[in-house]
Amino acid sequence: MLVLLFMVSLTLTASTHEKNFFFEKNTNYPVAVGLETVAHLESVQSPYEKIDIYQTTRCGNMLVLDGAIQLTQWDNHAYHEMLVHVPLMAHPNPQRILIIGGGDGGTLTQVCKYPAQEIVLCDIDSQVINLSQKYFPEFAPSFTDPRVKIVIGNGAQFIKNFNDYFDIILVDASDPEGPASVLYTHDFYTDIYNALKVDGIAVAQGESPFFHQQLIIDWHARNQKIFPHVYYYYALVPTYPSGVIGFMYHAKSYTPLTLRNSSVCGYETAHYYTPALHKASFVLPKFMNN
């Protein structure tokens, strides 16, 4: 059972586990997302964050970081497919791909569907990687793909080592608080620009247009000063707050609406992504165009 609860007043609790439900709550908006659970499979405090794994009644296993839902086995494909397939289909020949964050392996799994030459995943928390391989076995094979290099470290520092190198950079970050806050700064996106080839594309997790409108508007305006092409698009993910998650698309050369990649193998097994949806996802509601 999946429940979206509209609370009467703002809560001060990041998350709770009441009876057989896990609730993700937030101090900034009066909404909680609740999932019925079967078991609390594991709880680990890493040096960077609290990691919890739940088995839910209807959504499979669920990964929670610092009280915020990161993914469920039921609907993660919508997020991961749209984060990956949109930029990789907009680029004619993506061979070198960097994922910053994404230690759960969902983004990596989608990237591995393409005939890329080199795939690098840089995540600061090795325990997320270890627990994901245990509880999300569908992602585990991507970690042993011979093209993949796993780097445990700070993505904002790692990116500084590259210039004119990657075709695609994917920032699969959690919310802009705690260890992920540095992944939303002007300096970080300047480093991304420098690390991309002359026709490179970068896409980042872009929060909810319903709950983070001003953050998105400010972020978009700031990054337009760095990249020639900056666009916002979104996907429907029921277990994320508001049920909608956005993405910020940055490119040096390629606008996002033309599909240039002939490697259709990348999305032919998709559950959510289609070429038509690719284009439609950039059509924003009126309140985001004001």
Q: How far apart are CA 148 and CA 144, in angstroms?
A: 7
Q: Give the position of tokens 């609290």.
A: 50
The phi-psi region of residue 13 (left if phi > 0; otherwise alpha if psi is between -120 and 50; otherwise beta) is: beta
Closest CA to 91 of 10, 188, 184, 168: 168
Element holding 200 (H helix, E strand): strand 196-205
Q: Which of 172, 175, 187, 199 is catalytic?
A: 172
Q: Give the position of tokens 């990964």.
A: 63
How many Cα atoms occupy the beta-carbon half-sphere of 125 within 13 Å?
24
Ramachandran angles phi, psi of 71, nearest 5°: -170, 155
How many Cα atoms occupy the beta-carbon half-sphere of 281 within 13 Å?
29
Q: State the amino acid at position 276 in one-letter form.
A: A
Q: How far apart are CA 281 and CA 82, in angstroms?
A: 9
Assess whether 172 carries a catalytic annotation: yes
Q: Which residues are catalytic?
A: 172
